[in-house]
Copies of this chain bind each other. A is one copy, B any other.
């Protein structure tokens, strides 16, 4: 069975290579540049190989999105774990979220702007996505305020962060005042 195991391992390696290459290419030149032809060339295989791993380009985007969600969750937890006090924690969370979106625009797009064929807000939602929301909930639940459902509050806070992230990156909001907007967001939305 060693031969089959080796083949399976190599296949898994190649799948990771595809996802990593797609992400790298998207981060360098944008998702428009991630064509199946260029991606195939970069991994040094022909196009059909991609389709033996994924149903299509959409699924590749979805795979990058899942990877990104796991990273986002870890980033948020790392940013908040060492901080004392709800206010400082929520501020750190907001900064970490916006920072992640700014540093990983392609991954952020894969998660929230593009169609990666993922299911949200549902029991069928993939684990990494639920976990990323969970990471938000952990810090935000404690500042929802009395009588406010923590999940609902987290959704609102998240939507605000998402709006700031996308509008800023699309040039709809001047980047200079990001920090001021973040502070205002935390001051107003969180009950401290």
Binding site for B on A (CB under 8 A): 112-113, 119-121, 148, 152-153, 155-156, 158-164, 166-167, 170-174, 177, 180-181, 184-185, 188-189
Contacts and interface: CB of A to CB of B under 8 A. Distances in A.
Nearest to A32: B115
How many identical subunits does the complex contain? 2
Contacts of A167: 112, 155, 158-159, 162
A172 B113 contact: no
Interface majority SS (helix, strand, loop, mixed), chain A: helix
Nearest to A129: B172
A188 B90 CA distance: 16
A156 B152 contact: no
Contacts of A162: 163, 166-167
Which of A112, A119, A159 is most buried by chain B, counting CB atoms within 10 A of its CB?
Answer: A159
